[in-house]
Structures are given as C-alpha cells and as structure tokens.
C-alpha cells in the first residue's frame, strides 16, 4: 500500500506542473498590460515602464517562468500586483467562504438527489419515475449562469424572500448553494436510481424480507445502503467540479470566495493571483482524485497490484 501511495503521489507532480505551465503561458498571451491596468489609461509612459520594472514584467518570459516554478517549489505563490500581499494570504482569507459554499451545495445536492433516485428506482417505469427523472434532466440542463440570475430574480427581486448577494446569515447562502447544487443533484439522482435498481435485484433483499423485515426496512436498511457506495464515489470526484463551479456562482451572487477573487484577478491582469487561484483549484481537484484512488486501492487490493 505504501508503494502504491508513493506512486500515485509522484504521478500528481507532472499534472500540477503541466497545469502551472499552461496557466502561465495562456495568461501571458492574453492582451493587456497589468501596469497600465493598475495606473489607469491616463498614466504616463514613464510611470508605466517604472511599474513594469518594479513588478518584473520587463524580463523575458523564460526568466519569469523559471522564477514562477522556483517559487512554487519553495511554496511561494508570489505577491499580488493589486493588493501587494502574498497570494497565499489572499487565497487563505477567502478559502473558508468557498468551502462553506461548496459544503452547502453538496448538502443541497444530496437532499435533492437521494429522494429522487429512490422514488425513481421504487416506481421504475411509472409516472413517478418519469417525473423524477424529468426533474433531474431539467436540473442537469440548466447552467449556473442562467439558473443563478433566475433564482435571484424570482426569490430576491420579485418575492423578496432572500438577499440577492453578499454574506452574513444563512439566508445569503441559500441561493448560491441551490444554484451550485442543482446540477450535481441531477447526476447523483440518476446514479442513485441506477445503483438501487441493481441492488433490488439481489437475493439478499428477498432474504431480508423472508426473515421478517418489512419491505421498507429491507430497501432502506439494506439495498439503499449498499447502493450508495458508487454515489459516495461520485460525490468525492464531483467535489473538485463543485469548487470549479463556484467561480461563476460566486460572481453572480457577489460571494467573497476564491472563485470571485479569480475573476477579479483576471480583470485586473493580476498574473500571480490568477496563477495562484487556478493552481489552488487544480490542486484540490487532483488531491480529491488521489484520495479516491487511494481509497480504491485500500478497499480492493487487486487495484494496487495492477
């Protein structure tokens, strides 16, 4: 197991290095001058050039890349052009809000998906099943950038039930969490339905009822519990996707998380901050996949030997 873990850890290194190289290259291909963005259009050429020298932007790209990679190896993500503070500090200040939103979205997804999936499996082929799967299909078909404003218009502007943006209370969390969790719940509902249908065909469900258990207890206590194993796997793998989805959702609802910080950094041409945010999100995604791989190897030794 130790060799398997070390091998998986070593495989993550080229992935993260590739992400860092790609982000660095694409950022420097985007039109725009960070120095000019910081000083404004009315700034003189000498002031812009002086700021470029202070930020190190006048050096050749290979030299900037070497400095960037060297800083990563040392755990230094650089200093934000806009705030003048370490990038790691800026990300750390907004990380709790992003994790709060991601966790709330996962809760919303599970609360919506499990009942829909169970209803679809128990009433397979009937009207209830078709209605549940139609709801999940609608959920997966609605992108965040459309669903978010729609929920804001209905529940914040028209009805006035919930705040449209910002933080402070649980009411501020409802709309962003529902927006982010709806698409994930659609995927989980279909997975729950398919997995539960397979489990209901197993003989142990019939045996449980033969021992005197009611059909409800046999399904909820045995079949459903076993059917949730692949669902939990999908939840783990989708956590990285949820963090990625926060970029749009946080922007829509002015949620002060890492996603909104990334959009602001892109608009300001803050290269170190953009690189740091993207690398952070990519690292979380890779680490979650790594943990899932390690869990598989622990549960099934055959995977380690392959």
* pLDDT tens-digit map of 166-182: 777 888 888 998 888 88
Let me know if residue 221 belongs to a domain. yes
Domain of residue 188, residue span: 95-270
Number of domains in the chain: 1
Which three-class secondary structure state does DSSP give residue 143? coil
pLDDT number for residue 38: 66
Instruction: Tell me what the pLDDT averaged over the chain comes to.
Output: 78
Question: Do the domain assignments include residue 260?
Answer: yes
Check whether 304 has a pLDDT greater than 60. no
Assign 23 a pLDDT band (cuts: 50, 70, 90): confident
Using 50, 70 and 90 to split pLDDT, how confident is the model at 15? confident
- Considering the domain boundaries, does residue 68 fall inside one? no
What is the residue-wise DSSP string for 157-215? IIS--S-SS--SSHHHHHHHHHHHHHHHHHHHHHHHHHHHHHHHTSHHHHHHHHTT--H
Whether 302 shows a pLDDT value over 60: the answer reads no
Range among 27-31, 33-37, 151-155 rated most confident: 151-155
Could you tell me if residue 227 is inside a domain? yes
Please report whether residue 246 resides in a domain. yes
∠ at Cα 291 (286, 292), nearest 5°? Answer: 95
CB-CB contact of 231 with 188 (8 Å): yes
Listed ranges 34-43, 95-104, 135-144, 212-221; the one with the highest mean pLDDT: 95-104
Enumerate residues 6+ apart whose C-beta is below 8 A from 303: 296, 297
- State the pTM of this model: 0.75
Residue 280 lies in a domain: no
Phi, psi of 99, rounded to the nearest 5 degrees = -65, -35
CATH code of the domain covering residue 163? 1.10.3720.10
Any domain includes 218: yes
Q: What is the mean pLDDT of residues 188-197?
A: 82
Q: Is residue 202 part of a domain?
A: yes
- At residue 200, does pLDDT exceed 60? yes
């Amino acid at each position: 197991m130790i060799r398997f873990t070390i091998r998986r850890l070593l495989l993550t290194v080229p992935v993260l290095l590739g992400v860092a190289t790609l982000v660095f290259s694409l950022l420097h291909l985007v039109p725009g001058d960070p120095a000019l963005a910081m000083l404004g259009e009315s700034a003189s050429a000498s002031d812009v050039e002086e700021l470029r020298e202070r930020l190190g932007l006048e050096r050749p790209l290979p030299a900037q890349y070497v400095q960037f990679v060297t800083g990563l190896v040392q755990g230094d993500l650089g200093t934000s052009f806009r705030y003048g503070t370490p990038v790691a500090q800026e990300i750390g200040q907004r990380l709790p809000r992003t994790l709060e939103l991601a966790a709330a979205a996962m809760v919303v997804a599970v609360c919506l998906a499990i009942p829909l999936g169970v209803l679809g499996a128990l009433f397979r082929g009937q009207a209830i099943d078709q209605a549940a799967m139609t709801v999940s299909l609608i959920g997966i078909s609605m992108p965040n950038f459309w669903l978010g404003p729609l929920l804001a218009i209905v529940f914040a502007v028209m009805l006035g039930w919930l705040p449209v943006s910002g933080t402070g209370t649980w009411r501020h969390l409802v709309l962003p969490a529902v927006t982010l969790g709806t698409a994930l719940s659609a995927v989980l509902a279909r997975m729950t339905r398919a997995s539960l249908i397979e489990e209901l065909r197993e003989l142990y469900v019939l045996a449980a009822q033969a021992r005197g258990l009611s059909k409800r207890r046999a399904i909820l206590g045995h079949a459903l519990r076993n059917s949730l194993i692949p669902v939990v796997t999908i939840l783990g793998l989708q956590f990285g996707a949820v963090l990625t989805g926060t970029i749009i959702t946080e922007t829509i609802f002015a949620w002060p998380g890492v996603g909104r910080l990334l959009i602001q950094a892109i608009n300001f041409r803050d290269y170190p901050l953009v690189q740091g945010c993207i690398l952070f999100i990519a690292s979380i995604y890779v680490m979650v996949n790594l943990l899932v791989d390690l869990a598989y190897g622990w549960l099934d030794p055959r995977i380690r030997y392959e």
